[in-house]
């Protein structure tokens, strides 16, 4: 007889270990959804920056927009793998894995800020 958890998606996560306290699983899910909202905001910001046609140097404005859109497109994939890693650790009673998403996001925002600043100064 197969384990009920092995039939849940993704089986590579739910087929490992035992069911953790629901509060921890739900907190992990809320974190994943927060990263999804952040990704949506990044894409929307990139589209808005380019669509509004602000009085910035056009090449730098486009570069900033592209950085935001690429980061917003990649973030859900990174968030999904992070959710899976944390859920597996919770289910197996392991130490929670570290995440570099915050650092990467901080770098993205800093790069976009520099591009917009240069776009304003060089117009």
What average pLDDT does the segment 12-35 reach? 95
Mean pLDDT across the chain: 93
CA–CA gap between residue 99 and residue 24 (Å, rounded):
17
Q: In the predicted model, is pLDDT for residue 95 greater than 70? A: yes
Report the predicted TM-score, pTM, of the whole model to 2 decimal places. 0.88
Cβ atoms of 16 and 92 closer than 8 Å: yes
CA–CA gap between residue 74 and residue 70 (Å, rounded):
6
The per-residue DSSP string of 50-68 comes to: HHTT-SS-HHHHHHHHHHH
Q: What is the pLDDT of residue 55?
A: 92
pLDDT tier for residue 4 given thresholds of 50, 70 and 90: low
């Amino acid at each position: 007889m197969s384990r009920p958890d092995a039939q849940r998606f993704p089986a590579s996560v739910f087929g490992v270990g035992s069911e953790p306290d629901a509060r921890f699983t739900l907190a992990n899910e809320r974190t994943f959804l927060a990263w999804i909202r952040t990704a949506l905001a990044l894409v929307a910001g990139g589209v808005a920056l380019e669509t509004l046609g602000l009085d910035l140097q056009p090449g730098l404005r486009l570069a900033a927009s592209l950085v935001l859109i690429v980061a917003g497109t990649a973030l859900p994939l990174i968030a999904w793998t992070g959710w899976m890693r944390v859920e597996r650790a919770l289910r197996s009673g392991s130490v929670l894995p570290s995440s570099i998403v915050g650092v990467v996001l901080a770098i993205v925002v800093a790069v976009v800020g520099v591009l917009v600043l240069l776009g304003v100064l060089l117009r």
